Amino acid sequence: MFDTLTDKFDGIFSRLRNKGVLTEADVDEALKEIRVALLEADVNITVVKSLRNRIKERALGEEVHKALNPAQQVVKIVNEELIESLGGETISITYNQKPPTVVLMAGLQGSGKTTTSGKLAKWFKSQGRNPLLVGADLQRPAAVEQLRTLGRQVDVPVFSEASDPVTVAGKAIEEAQNTGRDVVIVDTAGRLAIDEELMEQVRQISLAVDPDYSFLVVDAMTGQDAVTVAESFNEKLELDGVILTKLDGDARGGAALSVKEIVGKPIAFAATGEKLDEFELFHPDRMASRILGMGDMLTLIEKAEQTFEQDEAEAAAQALMDGSFTLDDFLEQMQQLKKMGPLGGLVKMLPGLPKEMRDVEVDDGELGRVEAIIKSMTTEERAKPEIVDASRRSRIAKGSGTNPSQVSMLIKQFSEMQKMMKKMGGMGTKKARKNKKGKGKKGKGGGRVTPKSTARVTEKGTKKRKAPLMLPGLDRLDDADFEELANQLDELS
């Protein structure tokens, strides 16, 4: 998502970092490029002007002038102002003291409103709630049946027992109270365009259920049209927030960066894929970090926590670091990894990765081929892949529908991954020993911390490493890159 904008910012900031000391002319040039990048991303021109002026005021002020690293300070300013444009803080959902908490879903036809209602129900379930879906879209053929199908998939009941939408919504509140449902999600009808009939129906439903939250569902890929739609609905409905769908397909980001400043309402949730679990609270700080190519470690950790059992993850991490990680372990981890979502999206969440690695095309089908190869090995071969000779390679290739060279490549890359992770584990051990001896400055609680390196030097001719299959693109990193990545992993652990 927002790949175009990320690439533009990456180029702008790379040029700034190369300058060292920044002049006013350097900052002005960077601001011009930022302005063009935002306009090309279909960000509202009013938002572009406001964002540019805020950045300029701070970038030419004392906080940059007195900074040890002016370029990094400018990046920090842009990051903070992007967070402000995206909404500032993550929306906090509070619940009605007298259940149910009522959520009204509005939007144009085709925005993904019904599917989003199902996703929202699944999200509320993950928060320990008992939602009820309400089919108040009685105009679109099969809309209620679509909602029932989604309800079955997320194990949430659907109520739609009346001949008109307002009556359905009103009766749904009674149904929720009678059945112990503490959240009611009302899916209303949409239109191909905004008209008085649509607005009046949504307004009447709102009056009937008195919602705690009124969310507008808009397609992020429509750019400025999404903002225009949000303005129109907000005038009639008093929105509490916006839900962006198809955010994973939005390479520009115009809607996300414009809606809060123009409409005055925050982005509450974002749909990041077609699957029902590809739906999350919208975090302005994390999104700004992704836009600037700085990763999103918090979301990655949350996805991992939802997928991996803690004891299993700790055991796997220890096995990686001490070198006892086998192909069986790798296969198990890979199967868990697939549950977290497309591999390309996960790679982009890792912080500190070079642009070459973020932009690498990741083929999720490769995971299936690796799985087939490992499953075609014997137990002994999985534990000791170094025993696989030409005869064994041929047998494994036939059993997995691959060729011997692919089998050899997997074994070679797995071996490289083991060496790299063992080296990282050694670095962590060395750092711990160094801190224990009392080197470095004092940290909180009397402990010792080692100063983080602010620069790295890559020697010419440093041998490039081959890429472990689980992290495509590592073949473009050198020893200094690996050392920096190891340091980051140490700090996160």
User: Using an 8 Å Cβ cutoff, are 64 and 70 in contact?
Assistant: yes
pLDDT at 217: 92
pLDDT at 73: 80
What is the bridge-based pairing of β-strands 183-187 and 241-245?
unpaired
| Residues contacting residue 218 through CB under 8 Å, at least 6 positions apart | 107, 108, 111, 226, 229, 230, 242, 243, 244, 245, 255, 259
3-85 in CATH: which number? 1.20.120.140
Angle at 431 between CA 430 and CA 432, to 5 degrees: 90
The pair of structure tokens assigned to 314 is 């700790």
The pair of structure tokens assigned to 458 is 């890559």
List 206's β-bridge partners, or say none. Answer: none
The pair of structure tokens assigned to 189 is 């009808």
Give the span between the Cα atoms of 175 and 170, in whole angstroms.
Answer: 9
**Tokens 């406001």 sit on residue:** 50
pLDDT at 419: 72
pLDDT at 423: 62
pLDDT (tens digit, 9 = 90+) per residue, 204-259? 999 999 999 999 998 888 877 888 888 888 888 889 999 999 887 665 677 888 88
pLDDT at 9: 82
DSSP 438: T
* Average pLDDT, consecutive stretches of 10 residues, N- to C-terminus, the chain (493 residues): 76 78 82 89 88 87 66 83 88 92 91 93 94 90 90 94 88 93 93 80 91 92 83 86 84 79 89 86 85 60 55 57 69 68 56 49 68 90 90 92 90 77 53 46 36 33 37 46 51 46
User: Using an 8 Å Cβ cutoff, are 136 and 202 in contact?
Assistant: no
| Residues contacting residue 34 through CB under 8 Å, at least 6 positions apart | 9, 12, 52, 55, 78
Cα four-point dihedral sign 153, 157, 163, 165: negative
List 269's β-bridge partners, or say none. Answer: 243, 281
The pair of structure tokens assigned to 269 is 């949730």
Give the span between the Cα atoms of 429 and 434, in whole angstroms.
Answer: 9
**CB count, 10 Å around CB of 131?**
26
pLDDT at 287: 83
pLDDT at 420: 66
**Tokens 């359905």 sit on residue:** 168
User: Using an 8 Å Cβ cutoff, are 122 and 279 in contact?
Assistant: yes
| Residues contacting residue 432 through CB under 8 Å, at least 6 positions apart | none
The pair of structure tokens assigned to 304 is 């991992």
Give the span between the Cα atoms of 68 and 315, in whole angstroms.
Answer: 41
pLDDT at 79: 87
> Domain-by-domain residue ranges, the chain?
3-85, 101-294, 301-492
Q: Which fold has domain 101-294?
A: Rossmann fold (3.40.50)
- Side chain identity at 98, as an amino acid letter? K
The pair of structure tokens assigned to 457 is 């030097």
Give the span between the Cα atoms of 151 and 264, in whole angstroms.
Answer: 32
Closest CA to 41 of 1, 69, 81, 78: 1
pLDDT at 250: 63
Give the span between the Cα atoms of 416 and 437, in whole angstroms.
Answer: 32
Give the span between the Cα atoms of 476 and 236, in whole angstroms.
Answer: 54
Give the span between the Cα atoms of 410 and 415, in whole angstroms.
Answer: 8
Q: Which fold has domain 301-492?
A: 434 Repressor (Amino-terminal Domain) (1.10.260)
